[in-house]
Amino acid sequence: MRFRRAFWLILALAAGTSVAGAIWSEIYTEASWFASLGYAKVFWKVLGFKALSFFMFGGCVFLFLWANLRVAGGRRLWPLATLLGILMGAVAVGSWERVLMWAYSVPFGCKDPIFGRDLGFYIFSLPFYRLLYRIGLWTTFLAVASVGSFYLMGRGIWVGPSGPRLSPKASKHLSFLLGTFFLLLAVVYALRPYFLLYSERGVAFGAGYADLHGTLPGYRFLFVLCLAGALRAIWNVRRPGWRWMGYLVGGTVAGAFVLTVLLPGFIQQFSVKPNELSKEGPYISHNIRFTRLAYGLDRVREVSFPAKKAPTSDELRREEATLSNIRLWDHRPLIQTYKQLQEIRLYYDFRNVDVDRYEVGGKVVQVMLAAREMTLDKLPRRARTWVNGHLKFTHGYGICMSPVNFVTPEGLPVLWIKDIPPRSDVGLEVERPEIYYGEATED
């Protein structure tokens, strides 16, 4: 017995040392890299909030589950509470940014037009509150499941002739947990209205007519219903009566579906869509106004520019360099011309035409060019083999370039760079014509 206990102790120490060593090596490497860039404080700040998220949420989950299991009589089930606490803490680590943003939240100095909240609330605080109630709901659900299973195995819950029966202890305990769950749901429905500002139901992003006249009243009704459920569950601790609790649970589920899914959809379909402009007009105005605020367009000033009707000959001579580079070619017929004259092989393709500037003959001129890329989709189906795709037809080759305002007597573009291999008529050489990663590359 002593040998077996010592063996497991040594094995646990070895495993713990290995895990700790791997974690420390990762931390040391990352810390050294951030320090070399002068951002050591950033690394330790991030690591600190990750650790805070893990221990804060994981510790609270462990204490809540351990306390409930202990009350139920499962004193030996503390490893289960520990495991679930570690798992929930690990989940919370992935949301460390929400904790950081909440801790350092600042006001924007601008309020939303629907609820009158500062915009900083939606950026910094609301995501953190959502993290809190989600972890709270999951923790309460896990507590109900674990405690209920313990009572079921310990004969605290059994099936009698008239249906499921609960011992007084199990009834009080589960009533308390159900009341906690209802209270958390009330918090959810108190916060859900603020998420309507992210709605995509209407014609414009944000809360629309159906959201504010259908979903919002539904959330408020469900908030009151969940508070009633929490109060009834607390009363159920003193005087058990599970029929009304069943009504409240069923009513909450049905109400959530009818009031937040069916009713808003009905309003959107039969009230908003037939008269969309008048119904959604105020909310479209909100969307436009806050878009202008976000991009700083509200600070744009309109200034009249008194342009002359016709330039003078002196002005034309001064702007000769600009006028000689005015683009005349339209990219749509030009790309079709490139395709007909310069694709050359079945498996090559010009995706689009770009405009650029190069120095030609000592002057910067504006040109239009397209890359000749590989497109295996143009090959016959029998030729789309692994060998062709990975070893033979692996890259495009060269470009096609022409000035923006030159044309041949036949009405075609003057090709300064063309053919395979690329030939240049103006001294612009393509040293590496291979195109392995272009706009047509998908894998």
Tens-place pLDDT, residues 80-125: 888 889 999 999 998 999 999 999 999 998 999 999 999 999 999 9
**3-class SS at 164?**
strand
Q: What is the mean pLDDT of residues 203-210?
A: 86
Q: pLDDT, tens digit, for every residue of 309-342?
A: 787 888 888 888 888 888 999 999 999 999 999 9
**Is pLDDT of 274 > 90?**
no
Q: Which of 36-45, 191-200, 302-311 has the lowest mean pLDDT?
A: 302-311
pLDDT at position 159 is 61
Compute, in degrees rounded to 10, the torsion defined by CA atoms 81, 86, 91, 93: 140
Backbone angles phi, psi at 322, to 5 degrees: -75, -45
Phi, psi (rounded to 5 degrees) for 206:
115, 180
Residue with token string 């079709």: 336
How far apart CA 140 and CA 137 sit, in angstroms, is 5
215, 202 contact by CB (below 8 A): no
Segment 43-71 shows an average pLDDT of 90
CA distance 120 to 194: 12
d(CA 225, CA 249): 10
For residue 238, what pLDDT is reported? Answer: 76
Instruction: Name the nearest CA neighbour of 233 among 218, 219, 224, 244.
Output: 244
Q: Is the pLDDT of residue 442 over 60?
A: yes
SS3 160: strand
Statement: residue 75 has pLDDT above 60: yes
CA distance 391 to 144: 59
DSSP 111-149: B-TTT--BHHIIIIIHHHHHHHHHHHHHHHHHHHHHHHH
Out of 50-59, 150-159, 272-281, 365-374, which region has the weakest mean confidence (pLDDT)? 150-159
pTM > 0.75: yes or no: no
| pLDDT, mean over the chain | 87
Residue 68's pLDDT band (boundaries 50, 70, 90)? confident
Query: Tell me, what's the pLDDT at 78?
Result: 80
Per-residue CA distances from 360 to 26, 178, 400, 426 (Å):
53, 79, 16, 7
Q: At residue 205, does pLDDT exceed 90?
A: no
Interior/surface letters 377-389, b for 16+ CB within 10 angstroms, e for the rest: eebeeeeeeeeee
